């Protein structure tokens, strides 16, 4: 049986109310979304990876977030303290990706730029890559950390050589914008999700098209490979999450339950669970059975001069050890949950001039409490269960 939980109501303290103050909704983002979006919204999150090298801030100890002001923030996972604030872009920071050795991270933004930061010295200027003709929404490292792939609104994918900063390959990948990229664990495949409703698989070395995956009926916003590389998960505007078999290109399962657009999806490190964030919920699914394990709602809202706007949950990520689940919100707050129990452990709150974040009741009263679990309907799928 699925379990649903909420941070608001059912005897729990009131959820987050963020006051927009004089801030105005972002016109472009709002035109693409079911609710007005402000630039204090957190758009993406990424845990630092596990590494065999002596950790600087690796081993999942640091969480990176990016928001609509173009700011990247680095947080200490264990304490919630902000390690660094980086004005990376002049517009939305759409994507942040760590190198596999945790020695650096790349960002992509609404100013058409890609930046590479060395974590050993954030005071040094970032290496900047110019080549896109419009907003860059996605960036990912190659498995060897010697290349970057980026994509965005200009419909192109660029493969950057990090040794000399040059464009090694550039190709038109889709007929519409590309919100998401993912690299398979072995580095063989590059997946791209597009607003043309399709997913394409590319040879990461040559840029050759391998397959086109058709199934979503609207924009594809997020793609992620399973840890063993056998499956690909996707999420989109059609309110669904899909599981694809990479070699055959066939849909293996459809996960239904979200009531609005699904913005982000991620596999647990052992590949047994799938997390998705969209509408105002984050959902945890069993990959083999397709059952929804848990549904969490943060219950947040944004208070504006014309009324209150419910939050949308914009991104989700498992920690490298599978212990935690990070979830970001359009309120500008990022939450840390226990992946096993759904308990709220911590929140990462950014404070910027132009808006004031507050809660009707102290949010810290939620931390460390197990939320009340409420049964909900179990998801079913006509697609045969994935194996392995």
Higher-pLDDT residue of 217, 10:
217
Least confidently predicted of 128-132, 193-197, 302-306, 379-383 = 379-383
322 located within any domain: yes
Query: pLDDT digits over 276-315, tens only?
Result: 999 999 999 999 999 999 999 887 888 887 888 888 899 9
pLDDT of residue 256: 97
In the block, residue with structure tokens 């392995």: 388
The CATH number for 345's domain is: 2.130.10.10
Higher-pLDDT residue of 25, 373:
25
Going by C-alpha positions, the residue among 268, 324, 354, 337 that lies closest to residue 67 is 354
Report the mean per-residue pLDDT for the chain. Answer: 83
25 located within any domain: yes
Query: pLDDT digits over 336-356, tens only?
Result: 999 999 999 999 987 543 333
Higher-pLDDT residue of 160, 361:
160
Q: Going by DSSP bridges, is the β-strand pair 16-19/301-304 parallel, antiparallel, or unpaired?
A: parallel
pLDDT of residue 35: 63
3-class SS at 171? strand
Structural domains of the chain, count: 1
88 located within any domain: yes
345 located within any domain: yes
85 located within any domain: yes
pLDDT of residue 20: 55
Query: pLDDT digits over 169-216, tens only?
Result: 999 999 999 999 999 999 999 999 999 999 999 999 999 999 999 999
Q: Tell me how far apart the alpha carbons of residues 141 and 187 are, in angstroms, rounded to a whole number.
A: 9
pLDDT at residue 387 is higher than 60: no
pLDDT at residue 56 is higher than 90: no
Q: Tell me how far apart the alpha carbons of residues 10 and 238 are, in angstroms, rounded to a whole number.
A: 30
381 located within any domain: no
370 located within any domain: yes
DSSP string for 296-322: EE---EEEETTEEEE--EEEEEE-TTS
Q: Give the model's confidence band at 363: pLDDT under 50 very low, under 70 low, under 90 confident, else very high.
A: very low
Q: Which domain holds residue 62?
A: 2-376
For the segment 117-138, the average pLDDT, to the nearest whole number, is: 90
CB 61 within 8 A of CB 76: yes
39: Cβ–Cβ under 8 A, 6 or more apart, which residues?
A: 23, 26, 29, 67, 68, 69, 92
Share of the chain above pLDDT 90, in %: 66
Share of the chain above pLDDT 70, in %: 78
Q: Tell me how far apart the alpha carbons of residues 226 and 191 are, in angstroms, rounded to a whole number.
A: 12
pLDDT at residue 58 is higher than 60: no
């Amino acid at each position: 049986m699925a379990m649903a939980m909420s941070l608001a109501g059912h005897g729990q303290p009131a959820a987050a109310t963020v006051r927009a103050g004089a801030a105005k909704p972002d016109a472009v983002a709002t035109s693409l979304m079911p609710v007005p979006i402000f630039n204090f919204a957190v758009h993406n999150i990424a845990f630092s990876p596990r590494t065999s090298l002596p950790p600087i801030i690796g081993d999942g100890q640091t969480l990176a977030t990016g928001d609509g002001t173009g700011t990247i923030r680095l947080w200490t996972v264990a304490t919630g303290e902000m390690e660094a604030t980086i004005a990376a872009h002049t517009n939305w920071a759409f994507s942040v990706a760590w190198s596999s050795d945790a020695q650096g991270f790349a960002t992509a933004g609404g100013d058409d730029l890609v930046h590479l930061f060395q974590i050993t010295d954030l005071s040094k200027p970032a290496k900047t890559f110019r080549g896109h003709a419009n907003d860059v929404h996605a960036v990912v490292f190659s498995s060897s950390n010697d290349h970057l792939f980026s994509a965005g609104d200009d419909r192109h994918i660029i493969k950057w050589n990090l040794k000399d900063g040059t464009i090694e390959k550039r190709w038109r990948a889709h007929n519409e914008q590309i919100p998401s990229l993912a690299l398979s664990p072995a580095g063989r495949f590059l997946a791209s999700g597009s607003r043309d409703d399709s997913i394409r698989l590319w040879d990461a070395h040559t840029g050759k098209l391998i397959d086109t995956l058709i199934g979503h009926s609207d924009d594809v916003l997020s793609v992620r490979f399973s840890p063993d590389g056998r499956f690909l998960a996707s999420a989109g505007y059609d309110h669904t999450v899909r599981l694809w078999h990479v070699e055959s290109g066939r849909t293996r399962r459809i996960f239904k339950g979200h009531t609005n657009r699904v913005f982000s999806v991620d596999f647990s490190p052992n590949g047994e669970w799938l997390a998705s964030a969209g509408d105002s919920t984050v959902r945890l699914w069993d990959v083999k059975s397709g059952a929804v394990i848990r549904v969490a709602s943060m219950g947040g809202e944004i208070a504006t001069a014309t009324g209150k706007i419910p939050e949308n949950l914009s991104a989700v990520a498992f920690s490298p050890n599978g212990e935690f689940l990070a979830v970001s919100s359009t309120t500008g707050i990022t939450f840390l949950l226990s992946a096993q129990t759904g308990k709220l452990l911590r929140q990462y709150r950014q404070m910027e001039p132009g808006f004031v974040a507050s809660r009707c009741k102290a949010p810290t009263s939620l931390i460390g409490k197990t939320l009340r679990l409420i049964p909900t309907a179990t998801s079913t799928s006509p697609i045969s269960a994935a194996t392995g």
